[in-house]
Structure 1
Amino acid sequence: MRADEPHPDVQQILAAVEAADTQPLAKYGDPDVAREVSARMRADADGPDLASVENRTVPGPDGDIEIRIYRPDTDGPVPTVAYFHGGGWVIGDLESHDLVCRHLARESGCVVVATHYRRAPEHPYPAAFEDSYAVLEWLATNSDETGGDGRLAVAGDSAGGNLAAAATLRARDEDGPDIDYQLLVYPSVTQTTDWDSREQNKEGYYLTEPDMEWFGESYFHTATDDDPYAHPLHADSHADLPPATVVTAGFDPIRDEGIAYAETLEDAGVAVEHHHYPEMIHGFYSMLAGQANLEAGHDAIGKSGADLRAAFEL
């Protein structure tokens, strides 16, 4: 489940993070400062070329929502992947996951649409969830505007994995958009903390216990413990959900809840592809350029793309 130590390339990244003395982000107290610090740590890279990348807005429950549409260099309409970025519902934006979306569009052959949902603590639960679901509904009825063919998947990492899983549950419960596939990258699916991985990896591995506590308190203080759209692992049923890919990392504090969600889906009869990386840390999926350029990150996106291609028979 976890290697003896992180991959040597990961160790170099962790050393650089420690030397920069920027974490935990919670120590800044101010979400805008934390967002600025996080943005300074991002790699400055363009990513793979695509047919087009377009910014636009779509209607949301509290005003327009910014989205970014990544169209792969393929002929004709293709399936659409709604991508929800990570960042603890507090940090992260369209720029933080631009590289991820570019690579995923190329590897999957799908249109990838990223969402800049409202963030906590300014906008606690269910703001991010409502925005994400509103974009999903828009995509389901406006595929002609994105280059989509009507088929639809959801995807997200960490907090975005939470939003993707929750949106999938709501779509099933309310007979909403027809979702064909879900890609969940180290998803945060519960706020319970009695996991071995929370104790093993609570400090020194990029995502820290103070940040997890800060993120959770910022977003979930308005949610009840039994709300399945806040905590997807605790839904009454996971039957009749679309097939899934779940990606987890050995040195990730939320490793075990991601594994538990994959097992819960399988127990409910859902087909699951589980890709586990014992030497990796939380966030590795988006470490794709610059000093934080991990072969495992590229491998995970490649496998995710291959799973999507297989699901859509592309």
Structure 2
Amino acid sequence: MRGVISPKLTAFLDQANQALAEAKESGISFSAERVRGSLKNLTTFLDEGPEIAHIEDKYLGDQRIPVRIYNPSPNETLPVLLHFHGGGHMCGDVEVYDPISRKLAIAARAIVICVDYRLAPEHPFPAGIDDCQYALEHYKKLLSGQKINEQLFIAGDSAGGAICTSLVMNNIDNDAVKIDKQVLIYPSVDYTMSLPSVEENGHGYLLERDKVVWYFQQYFQVSDLNDDIVKKASPLLGYFSSNMPESLVIVGGCDPLKDEGIAYAKALESAGVRVKCHQFPGMVHAFMLIENLVKEECEKTYQLISEFTQG
């Protein structure tokens, strides 16, 4: 069933849909440059985020993966949270997501490391996953002199949620990696786009179905999302185990990806994993990036993250 949009977003969506219609009439097609610009434009609805005691930019490993570290309380011994930003595997970076990383550090009471992984189409699958896997295995090298405990959290929205769940799927039998908890915000976990909400919410609610298809085609360098590589990469279609991390899953009722997020939470629960799934009925995909329009929902999201990580 198609979601019912919050009145808070009606004017914003009217404007977005008008711009989309005009672009289509003008024959403007998707491009990496254009979608990256569109994501950055959404940050006009974000404030700068809270002050953080210690922020530092570094590079990790011989690959020189850029990261930004946020330590909200350097005198305390804190857990670590690896933050993987969203953007369809094609957009986003530590600058765009800086306000969210700051708020995650405060909410989780953790040292946040935001990973600036490589993006498609210049670096298609699995380049970004490889960067994040390396960060997962070697993040402690970034934190010399900082006080950390042994707890490790991962968090991501949209494609960042895809990265979190892919890392969990890929490391089920890796004794060298222990993820304690994962936070998934409107995660992308089914690259085949096979569940009903993709069609039901796939038009008029900011994230358009045809754009998602295009994102995935660029990421996997395929034309058909039924390709075996796409199926094997989909965390929802992978193996579930009781030793997957405790999870918080947050979805929007007007998001094309709503059903797959809920299905992932149910699959975790069926495997014996502790999971909490929270739905915001009137919210679109990427609502965390338009915080000034939906402050109450974003504040609630950070509250849920705080209760989950510190509980």
Pairwise same-fold verdict (TM > 0.5): yes
**Is contact 2:108-2:306 (8 Å) kept?**
yes
Q: CA deviation at 1:142?
A: 5.0
In the alignment, residue 94 of structure 1 is paired with which amino acid?
Answer: V
Unpaired runs of 5+ residues, structure 2, are none
**Deviation for aligned residue 1:195:** 1.5
Cα distance in 2 for residues equivalent to 1:274 and 1:86:
19
Question: Do 1:81 and 1:111's aligned partners in 2 also have CA atoms closer than 8 Å?
Answer: yes
Aligned to 1:54: 56
Partner amino acid, structure 1, of 2:52: L
The change in CA–CA distance for 1:16 and 1:48 in structure 2 (over 3 A counts) is farther
Q: Is the 8 A contact 2:74 2:146 kept in 1?
A: no
Which residue identity lines up with residue 268 of structure 2 in the other structure?
L
Tell me how many residue pairs correspond in the alignment. 305
Following superposition, the deviation at residue 300 of structure 1 comes to: 0.8
Distance 1:120 1:138, change over 3 A: same
Q: Does 1:114 align with 2:114?
A: yes
Q: Alignment partner of 2:282: what SS?
A: strand
Query: Equivalent residue for 2:267?
Result: 264
C-alpha RMSD of the superposition = 2.5
Q: Secondary structure of the residue that 1:182 maps to in structure 2?
A: strand
CA contact (8 A) 1:140 1:150 kept: no
**What's the offset of the Cα at 1:30?**
2.5
User: What SS is found at the alignment partner of 1:138?
Assistant: helix
* Alignment partner, residue 300 of structure 1: 301
CA distance in 1, matches of 2:242, 2:227: 22
Q: Which SS does the other structure have where 1:172 is aligned?
A: coil
Alpha-carbon distance between aligned partners in 2 of 1:206 and 1:213, rounded to the nearest angstrom? 14
> What's 1:235 paired with?
238
Give the residue type in structure 2 aligned to 1:216: F
State the shift of 1:54 in Å. 1.3
- Superposed CA offset, 1:190-231 (max 9, x none): 122332211111111111112101111011236963678721
1:288 deviation in Å?
2.4
1:172, CA displacement in angstroms? 2.2
Q: Which amino acid aligns with 1:183?
A: V
CA distance in 1, matches of 2:29, 2:176: 40
2:169·2:240 contact (CA, 8 Å) conserved in 1? no
Partners of 1:173 and 1:22 in 2: CA distance: 48
Amino acid at match of 1:208: E
Measured in 1, the distance between the counterparts of 2:256 and 2:204 equals: 10
TM-score (normalised: structure 2) = 0.89
What percentage of residue pairs aligned between the two structures are identical?
A: 31
CA shift for structure 1 position 42: 1.6
Q: Write out aligned runs for 1:20-59 (5 A).
A: 20-21=19-20, 27-43=28-44, 45-59=47-61
| 1:280 to 2:293 alignment | no
* Cα contact 1:140–1:152 (8 A) shared by 2: no
Change in Cα spacing, 1:229 to 1:49, as seen in structure 2 (3 Å) is: farther
- The two structures have a TM-score, normalised by structure 1, of 0.89
Q: Match of 2:76? A: 76
SS at match of 1:281: coil
- Larger deviation, residues 260-269 vs 40-49: 40-49
Q: Does the Cα contact within 8 Å between 1:17 and 1:23 map onto a contact in 2?
A: no
Which secondary structure does the structure 2 equivalent of 1:112 belong to?
Answer: strand
CA offset at residue 128 of structure 1?
Answer: 0.8
- 1:112 is aligned with what amino acid? V
Deviation at 1:6, TM superposition (A): 1.3
| Contact kept in structure 2, 1:90 and 1:120, CA below 8 Å | yes
2:240–2:268 CA contact under 8 A, matched in 1: no
Cα deviation, residue 100, structure 1: 1.2
CA deviation after TM superposition for structure 1 residue 143, in Å: 4.3
Moved more, 87-96 or 262-271: 87-96
* Counterpart AA for 1:7: S
Q: Structure 1 residue 73: deviation in Å?
A: 3.5
